[in-house]
């Protein structure tokens, strides 16, 4: 359960971002979370609420967009969604995929702030 560590890093980062823009009142945080990031969505939502208490982000809401796992198939020369997270091969031709295109993100995409 490292989601609490992730949530704390997130809050630190957003607070910094907010300060550098002259102090934002954040209502919603939009996060992109890859399904191959090793971070659990539900656990992160729970941890975020805990970590927000007493921070400048208290009362804000976290919205998580799950990013699928996409690999690059060298044979087809195309991005492909593998059959599962534990079978990293091309669904069309079966070639094993060594390059991950998306799925590892833990990235704050945007903030909804009071205008």
Partner 1 sequence: MSTRMVEVRAKVLKQNDLLARALRERFTREGTCVVGLVSSPGSGKTAFLEKLLSGLARDSRVAALVGDLATENDAARLRRATPNVRQITTGTVCHLDAQMVEKALESWRLDRIDFLFIENVGNLVCPSSYDLGEELRFVLLSATEGEDKPLKYPTIFNSSDVAVITKMDLAEAAEFDLAAARRNIESVRPGMQVLEVSAKTGAGMQAAFDLLHAQLARARHSQVAATL
Helix 3-20 to helix 41-52 angle (10° resolution) is 60
- Contact residue for partner 1 among 14, 51, 52, 62 (CB under 8 A): 14
Check residue 62 for interaction with partner 1 (CB under 8 A).
no
- Contact residue for partner 1 among 9, 66, 75, 93 (CB under 8 A): 9
Distance CA 83, CA 85 (A): 7
Task: Please say whether the beta carbons of 27 and 60 come within 8 A.
Answer: yes
- Contact residue for partner 1 among 50, 63, 75, 85 (CB under 8 A): 85
Which token pair is 100? 């991950």
Check residue 88 for interaction with partner 1 (CB under 8 A).
yes
Task: Please say whether the beta carbons of 12 and 30 come within 8 A.
Answer: no
Choose among 113, 114, 111, 74: nearest CA to 94: 74
- Contact residue for partner 1 among 45, 64, 100, 101 (CB under 8 A): 100
Question: Which span sits near partner 1 by CB under 8 A: 47-55, 59-67, 79-87?
Answer: 79-87
Applying CB under 8 A, which residues contact partner 1? 1-2, 5-6, 9-10, 12-14, 17, 21, 24, 27-28, 31, 36-39, 85-89, 96-98, 100, 105-115
């Amino acid at each position: 359960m490292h989601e609490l560590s992730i949530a704390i890093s997130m809050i630190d980062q957003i607070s910094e971002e907010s300060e550098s823009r002259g102090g934002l009142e954040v209502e919603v945080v939009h996060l992109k979370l890859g399904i191959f990031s090793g971070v659990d969505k539900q656990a992160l939502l729970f941890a975020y609420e805990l970590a927000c208490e007493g921070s400048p982000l208290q009362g804000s809401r976290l919205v998580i967009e799950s990013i699928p796992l996409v690999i690059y198939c060298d044979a087809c020369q195309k991005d492909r969604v593998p059959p599962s997270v534990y079978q990293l091969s091309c669904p069309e031709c079966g070639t094993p995929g060594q390059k991950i295109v998306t799925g590892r993100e833990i990235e704050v995409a945007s903030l909804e702030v009071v205008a």
